[in-house]
Amino acid sequence: MKQLPMVYHKKILVLGLAKSGTAAAEILHDLGAFVTVNDSKPFDENEHAQYLLSKGLTVICGSHPEDLLDEGFSLIVKNPGIPYTNTVIAEAKKRGIPVWTEVELAYRISDAPMIGITGSNGKTTTTTLIFEMLEAGNKQPLIAGNIGTVASAVAAKATNDNIIVTELSSFQLMGTEELKPKISVLMNLYEAHLDYHSSFQEYTDAKFNITKNQDHSDWFIYNGEQQIVKDYASKSNAKKIPFYVSKKTEEGISADDLYVYWNGKMLFERSIIALRGKHNLENVLASTAAAILLNCSLDSIVQVLTNFHGVKHRTQFVREWKNRKFYNDSKATNALATKSALEGFSEPVILLAGGVDRGHSFDELIPHLHNVKALIHYGATAERLQKFGEQQGIPAVIQVNNLIDAIAEGVRISAEGDVILLSPACASWDQYESFEIRGDEFIEQVLALKD
């Protein structure tokens, strides 16, 4: 771990705990800073605060006192979830106190080079694929950020023999100053998190921070088929590697219906890729490009792509049973995500959907329903999905009480060669606390099917 003279014997405020704030506070303490932590959760209910107090840090819990900043802090490290409209952060900005998120600290202390992955969709799958490819290529990768372990905790233990593969959200990237990944990846940009960011422009500018400090010794992998991403790429000083999923190109990494190409030369057949769908092809191309840049062998890349069936709850292949294939896409909490899942299948699909009714339209699904032979639905959106399915002429539209009943009905009406796909197009909160619990229920029920 690199030392940071700028924090040694300086007063530092860590605002918001949870895992990232706790890790940052402990690291800053180890670096010789005088650390104060402030969290809104009461001390008696706050295990993180109790732990840090036992380590000798100053702990203020239960509120954010108005005079908190009068201590003369040199730096604030905030939990990424705390918005910049927070009164403490807004006042810090007025006083000229630097405000970081924990990933900036991770970058500054790391002895290992970093790969940073961001985008509106596909971050987790791409991050996981890169990690798996580097591991297969014996590159000693570590995984961090929004996926896996807190980035600063990973960076504190990393050596220059490691490579840190880091998933980065807009929340994290907005609070960076010197972050400079060796390889940065920007998958795509769509409207998201506008409850946190003041505008789409602020959101996309935060994403661009992943390459803002890069120079010609670094690489920037980006979506060459999305204009807004191309516009941002034109501002990057890194060596640029675009990816294209719909045509062969002579630059970057690309794919047509049959092959994947690197700078126009065939790498491997698309048929070896286990992951389904155009959206996953974007993830495959971006991760393959990163692995090539880091000198992974083609054999190690192909090995991963042949065996990788997806991140849990994201078009995850669960099992084949009596020549029916089951996929868990519980992470699909809106129609756009379900559309992406449906794009990946040419087989007849029995779609299991439903959940919280957010009032969103299902119209994005319409061009992708041609092979949906049945829509089995449940939950708060049942009435709307029944009407939608009937209007679109889906052969069978069936309402049931819950997911367990939907699985049973899907199995009952299925035939050999069918895909049974959980892709709800809705949030889970009417019947499940999270999409993860919903997906776990699906996996458990499918694995319990008897031959």
Q: Which residue ranges are tagged as binding site for ATP?
A: 119-125
Give per-residue burial for 101-136: e unless 16+ CB within 10 Å, then b. Answer: bbbbbbbbbbebbbbbbbbbbbbbbbbbbbbbbbbb
**Helix, strand or coil for residue 280?**
helix
Question: Rounded distance, CA 272 to CA 406, Å?
Answer: 32
**Helix, strand or coil for residue 286?**
helix
Provide DSSP, 201-255: HHHHHHHHHHHHT--TTSEEEEETT-HHHHHHHTT--SEEEEEESSS--SSSEEE
Provide DSSP, 344-412: T--S-EEEEEE-B------GGGGGG-TTEEEEEEESTTHHHHHHHHHHTT-SEEEE-SSHHHHHHHHHH
Tokens representing 148?
């896996």
Distances (CA, A) of 51 to 19, 64, 148, 288: 12, 19, 21, 41
Question: Rounded distance, CA 177 to CA 59, Å?
Answer: 27
For Cα atoms 315, 400, 276, give the angle at the middle one, nearest 5 degrees. Answer: 15
Residues in the chain: 451
- Ramachandran bin of 119, using left for φ above 0, alpha for ψ from -120 to 50, beta for the remaining angles: left
Beta partners for residue 240, in sequence order: 220
Question: Rounded distance, CA 95 to CA 72, Å?
Answer: 10
Question: Rounded distance, CA 216 to CA 17, Å?
Answer: 37
Tokens representing 125?
């799958």
Radius of gyration of the chain (CA): 24
Q: Of 414, 428, 379, whose CA–CA distance to 399 is shortest?
A: 379
Beta partners for residue 186, in sequence order: 118, 222
Binding site: residue ranges? Answer: 119-125
